[in-house]
């Protein structure tokens, strides 16, 4: 204990993140007052990631008021998997201008139960005490749920807010993220609505649903509720249903959220109604919309003056991408840092020339997402790279990677500052690295492979190596 206490606080917090039995550490930190006092300002147990079957941890939170008061964030997953879930790395929209949004501060507290029966029994016990857990977590600010049943969590929120409702004094739940878990226990719509009605006064709200059929109705409920949240600055909604895969977003586009700065929407029917919505929210800095359809959408010249990330894909309106890159009426450029482009909108040579001309004035764009599943327009990608030489991170959606690699490599030769490339829908093996790196020597990361320049040592030659960031070791690609 003396040695542990002598370590820097940041190092103690880091070490404790990897202890396999976190609930014993919670008890340890409360029993050993010196350790408890030392790590209290850090992230020892303020941010916790749990499975819904972690009865031991939930019992501690329900019974130990001092411990519960210190919790600032809860992320709850109910997959029942024996391996650690990747839930805390879920991101609802591509943030090309920044690193992957993850729950980096969360301490994982998974219980690996041997049988499904034991997991179900523990989950039942947890659901019974959720009101007590909510009542004790008076300082909770962040709640992330990925569970099969929502209804028990209304009990948690009733315990958290008490009889006074969401406006209760000293209750400051600011961020809510809800992911529906598909399967036999999928939610009924009334469960979702009951939970939604308990939220309010939020700063950030995220909702992802995979099985609710009445998607348009759910969007309407969400819109009505979030419209009464004047503090809301971040909204993320991703709704998909096999029966109605592209729900109407008309109710959402009639909402007015005065503080909105970040918007993520998934599987939305393209409609000209998006334009007045974007124009009515001048504070927007991040816009990510996955839409479908062929509606011609034109952006007013004064819209989105503060936008930094413009990620509207699956559209065929070339003018939309060009308009966001041209100067505002004041003569100033929008402060773009990341841009997404659907290649199919630029089959015409004239349209890509207009876009490239508009891009040449931008010096801050570091991230580019290129949607071209067939890579038949890879030469257009090269033109964009020439017009915007500051791009450091490139994300490509391309099928049949082995067949398209020559086209991708040719396009990369026009990106002088590129450091990182991600290719979706294709597996990047070690042998691909040589071809891509030869075309773009500035690359430091190719998919899961990280470039490392190894200095020569006794009996070993140095040189270029590629290390798999997933822990699969080193590799020396057979280059041409």
Q: What is the set of domains in the chain, with CATH numbers?
A: 296-479 (3.80.10)
The pLDDT of residue 287 is: 93
The pLDDT of residue 104 is: 41
The pLDDT of residue 474 is: 43
Region of 452 please: left (phi>0), alpha (psi -120 to 50) or beta.
Answer: beta
Name the residue among 51, 45, 52 with its Cα closest to residue 69. Answer: 45
Name the residue among 287, 269, 144 with its Cα closest to residue 215. Answer: 269
CA distance 113 to 451: 39
Listed as ranges, residues in the chain with pLDDT below 70 are 1-2, 4-5, 7-46, 78-114, 163-171, 180-189, 200-201, 209-216, 239-250, 292-295, 373-375, 400, 402, 425-426, 458-462, 470-480
The pLDDT of residue 309 is: 94
pLDDT digits (tens, 9 = 90+) for 257-303: 889 999 988 777 777 788 888 999 999 999 988 876 666 788 899 99
Q: Reduced to 3 states, what is the DSSP secondary structure of residue 23?
A: helix
By the 8 A CB rule, do 263 and 287 touch?
yes
- The interaxial angle of helices 401-412 and 430-439, nearest 10 deg, is 30
Question: Integer distance in angstroms from the first to the last C-alpha of the chain?
Answer: 56
Torsion of CA 336, 339, 345, 349, to 10 degrees: 70
Name the residue among 46, 110, 49 with its Cα closest to residue 76. Answer: 49
């Amino acid at each position: 204990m003396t040695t542990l206490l002598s370590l820097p606080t940041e190092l103690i917090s880091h070490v404790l993140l990897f202890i396999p039995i976190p609930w014993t550490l919670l008890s340890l930190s409360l029993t050993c007052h010196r350790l408890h006092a030392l790590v209290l300002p850090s992230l020892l147990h303020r941010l916790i990631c749990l499975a819904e079957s972690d009865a031991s941890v939930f019992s501690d939170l329900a019974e130990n008021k001092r411990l519960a008061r210190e919790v600032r964030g809860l992320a709850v997953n109910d997959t029942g998997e024996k391996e650690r879930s990747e839930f805390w790395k879920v991101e609802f929209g591509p943030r090309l201008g920044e690193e992957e949004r993850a729950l980096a501060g969360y301490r994982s507290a998974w219980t690996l139960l041997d049988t499904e029966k034991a997991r179900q029994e523990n989950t039942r016990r947890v659901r019974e005490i959720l009101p007590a857990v909510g009542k004790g977590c008076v300082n909770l600010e962040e709640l992330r749920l990925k569970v099969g049943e929502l209804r028990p969590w209304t009990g948690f929120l009733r315990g958290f807010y008490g009889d006074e409702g969401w406006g209760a004094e000293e209750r400051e739940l600011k961020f809510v993220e809800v992911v529906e878990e598909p399967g036999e226990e999928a939610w009924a719509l009334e469960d979702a609505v009951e939970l939604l009605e308990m939220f309010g006064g939020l700063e950030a709200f995220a909702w992802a649903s995979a099985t609710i059929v009445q998607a348009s109705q759910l969007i309407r409920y969400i819109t009505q509720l979030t419209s009464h949240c004047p503090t809301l600055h971040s909204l993320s909604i991703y709704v998909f249903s096999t029966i109605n895969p592209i729900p109407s977003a008309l109710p959402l586009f009639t909402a007015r959220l005065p503080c909105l700065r970040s918007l993520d929407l998934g599987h939305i029917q393209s409609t000209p109604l998006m334009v007045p919505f974007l124009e009515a929210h001048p504070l927007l800095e991040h816009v990510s919309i996955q839409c479908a359809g062929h509606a011609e959408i034109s952006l007013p010249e004064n819209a989105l003056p503060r936008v930094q990330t413009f990620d509207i894909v699956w559209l065929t309106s070339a003018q939309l991408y060009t308009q966001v890159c041209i100067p505002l009426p004041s003569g100033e450029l929008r402060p773009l840092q990341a841009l997404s482009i659907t290649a199919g909108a630029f089959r015409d040579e004239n349209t890509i020339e207009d876009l490239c001309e508009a891009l040449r004035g931008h010096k801050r764009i570091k991230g580019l997402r290129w949607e071209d599943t067939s890579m038949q327009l890879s030469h257009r990608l090269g033109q964009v790279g020439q017009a915007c030489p500051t791009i450091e991170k490139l994300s490509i959606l391309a099928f049949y990677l082995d067949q398209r690699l020559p086209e991708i490599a040719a396009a990369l030769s026009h990106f002088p500052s590129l450091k990182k490339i991600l290719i979706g829908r294709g597996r990047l093996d070690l042998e691909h690295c040589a071809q891509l790196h030869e075309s773009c020597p500035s690359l430091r990361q190719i998919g899961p492979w990280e470039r490392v320049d190894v200095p020569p040592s006794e009996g070993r030659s140095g040189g270029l190596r590629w290390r798999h960031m997933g822990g699969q070791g080193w590799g020396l690609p057979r280059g041409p």
